[in-house]
Amino acid sequence: MSAESARTIALPAGEEIAALGQGTWYLGEDPARREQEIAALRLGVDLGMTVVDTAEMYGDGAAEELVGEALRGRRDEVFLVSKVLPRHADRKGTVAACEGSLRRLRTERLDLYLLHWRGRGPLEETLAGFTDLMEADKIRHWGVSNLDVADLVELTALPGGDAVAVDQVLFNLSRRGIEWDLLPWCREAGVTVQSYSPIEQGRLLKVEALSAVARALGATPAQVALAWVLAQGVAAIPRSGSPDHVRENRGAMDLHLPTEALDALDEAFPPPSGPTPLEML
């Protein structure tokens, strides 16, 4: 298990990033776990899980502060992602929110900045803020989170909107609705899809059918669930709060799911049979 063997996925512009990264939702909120969480993030970088995802919303900035501490001296080793809340996502607010995230993260730039979900404000305003940040070299790429096909169609019709790099959405074995329309649309448009909560915040690990597939492969249920997401051509950012959890997650990148395993997972977790409203957590 090494960083050299880590799998990658391409952004629209051609840049390759780690297919399996690290999420930080709920990290940084318990002082008793701080050192363990920092060690976990650093280990993940060592193992090639170099996409680190956070947001101004997580712990009201506490997760960003944790990430900034964990990445001290290692900033150039990671692809760093954060998100702006919809209530901040007008033109000036987007810039101000990003500058706040940069301070907490102790960095001068983000590699990717996302609109966390769609609010009531016009997408033109958020896009203008992203453009200002790009021109100021404060972000390298921009994208969205929790946007469905209709939202993306509207966004990409705006001047400059077709530069959207990523749509980060809820996608896992129990939440497969995007396979009907969103995932095909993104593939056609060249938008990279990232999955948050790829093991459904641990709830998938209690499903016997998943455990049975894992036993047959000599793997853990979490590794199978993550390997399945990666097999769909979707990146994943599971939360990694402990070094042992990081090592387990990293094993998913070396796991091949044979046809019989994929068939068993389809039987236990059927794909969508029609359009499904985009789900969120």
pLDDT in tens, 77-133: 999 999 999 999 999 999 999 999 999 999 999 999 999 999 999 999 999 999 999
The pTM is what?
0.94
Burial class (CB in 10 A: 0-12, 13-18, 19+), 261: buried
Give residue 103's pLDDT. 98
Give residue 4's pLDDT. 58
Cβ–Cβ under 8 Å, residues 48 and 6: yes
First vs last C-alpha separation in the chain: 31
Q: Percentage of the chain with pLDDT > 90?
A: 96
Burial class (CB in 10 A: 0-12, 13-18, 19+), 188: exposed
Question: pLDDT, tens digit, for every residue of 251-278?
Answer: 999 999 999 999 999 999 999 999 999 9
33 — pLDDT class (breaks 50, 70, 90): very high
What is the average per-residue pLDDT within 211-223? 97
What is the average per-residue pLDDT within 176-180? 97
What CA–CA distance (Å, rounded) separates 72 from 87?
30
Judged against a pLDDT cut of 90, whether residue 213 lies above it is answered with: yes
